[in-house]
Amino acid sequence: MQRYQHTVAGEARCKGVGLHSGREVELSIKPAPPNHGIRFSRIDLPNRPTICAIFKNVVDTSLATVIGGEGAIVSTIEHLMSSFAGLGVDNALVEINSYELPILDGSAAPFARMITEAGLKEQDSPRYYFMVRQPIQLAENGRSVTIYPDEQARVTCNIDFPHPAMGKQTVSITLSGNAFEEEICRARTFGFLHELEFMKQCGLAKGGTLDNAIVLDEEKVINEEGLRFEDEFARHKLLDCLGDFSLLGIPILGHVVTHKSGHAFNHAFLEKFFQEKDCWETTTLIAQEKAVMQA
């Protein structure tokens, strides 16, 4: 775990197609000072409106995580946000010339590769954490998100889809070392063929293809190359979870466990998390180490 905040050491760039808009979009990630957080700037609009990537700025979670502010929106931020969280980037400015991030290959791997190639730079400000002291749970209609006290940053995701190629899957990760890069970032987004066809009829998923998503018919995965992991579906849900929970603004020291959750339910949990202020405290690892030494 990191004692100090980090930003990217240099600029990183990519371009691609938005999943729903089908528009070509260019994106760049730039270094930012301590306590800046992750912010998105719409450089295609007058005055370049900038939106801080925190949960109170979330304006839609129906198909993706969308943030808004200053009269602008930025959509489908979860894969990039997951990469920032998984790689330990606290501060960055993301400049984008459209309202939707590129889907790339449907996973977080291209974003993670961009960031690692740019490198990380340690900054001179301590990194703050939410340290969970008591469990917090939100449960509804068979779905749940629970967070338990833990000395590490851990996430466990459980999915249960009534489909022969999916079914019940569980995956768990401790965010340390290269775990995100090796176990999670390559897992792709997924959807069902009938849903994709319907969305295209409604003018959505214009950029969706078999090159940037796992697509299932009623019985099987129809992508010729198959899956990257046997449990790729659960791994991608965990990837999305990391992106959603990063919108708390600072990382969590605790064990997040989700069951049949998605963007909307994750966001509802973030609101409950902030209501349960007696269950957590903000601290730094430096402060915790001093407290242990003085005890």
Instruction: Say which residues have a Cβ less than 8 Å from residue 220's Cβ, sequence separation at least 6.
Output: 164, 165
Q: pLDDT value at position 128?
A: 97
Q: Is the pTM of this model over 0.85?
A: yes
Please enumerate in sequence order all residues whose Cβ is within 8 A of that of 277, keeping only pairs 6 or more positions apart, or say none. none
Contacts of residue 214, Cβ cutoff 8 Å, sequence gap at least 6: 106, 188, 189, 190, 191, 221, 223, 227, 232, 233
Assigned token pair, 178: 């290269």
**255 in a labelled binding site:** no
- 132, 80 Cβ separation under 8 angstroms: no
Query: SS3 for 30?
Result: strand
Q: Which residues are catalytic?
A: 263
Query: According to the CATH classification, is domain 4-127 in 3.30.230.20?
Result: yes
Task: Identify the H or E element spanning 241.
Answer: helix 232-245
Q: What is the mean pLDDT of residues 140-159?
A: 97
Q: Could you give the CA distance from residue 251 to residue 186 in angstroms, rounded to a whole number?
A: 22
pLDDT band at 146 (very low <50, low <70, confident <90, very high): very high
Mean pLDDT of 117-130: 97
User: What would the two tokens of residue 197 be?
Assistant: 């066809």
